[in-house]
Amino acid sequence: LETPLDLLVNTTTVGMETEASPLDLSQCRKIKHLADLIYSPPQTRLLKQAEELGIPAINGMGMLLYQGCDAFTFWTGQPAPETVMQEQLLNLV
């Protein structure tokens, strides 16, 4: 990949069950940030590659948490207990 990217987002399931990666980041050195929306495992091969190459990266835990918070508020009409939900999420994953 020759085109510089501000953000690369992995929205595939590649990396959830195996050590597979949707691409080889060593071939894509012009990436400024990476988001892998997989949350389990918390660190996929893609995230490990990003770390090794010094690319700032996040997993999908934040997305999962805030989807849950929004759903809670939608269905109950109450503010989501974000801290409690985050603690429980970290215990589960």
- pLDDT of 1 reads 65
Order of strands, sheet of 57-58, starting from the edge strand that comes earlier in the sequence: 8-10, 34-36, 57-58
Q: Would you say residue 62 has pLDDT above 90?
A: yes
What gap in Å lies between CA 25 and CA 48, rounded to an integer?
10
Q: Would you say residue 29 has pLDDT above 80?
A: no
Q: Would you say residue 36 has pLDDT above 80?
A: yes
CA distances from 84 to 40, 65, 80, 90, 92 (A): 19, 11, 9, 10, 12
Of the two residues 21 and 74, the one the predictor is more confident about is 74
Q: Which domains does the chain have, with CATH numbers?
A: 1-59 (3.40.50.720), 61-93 (no CATH)
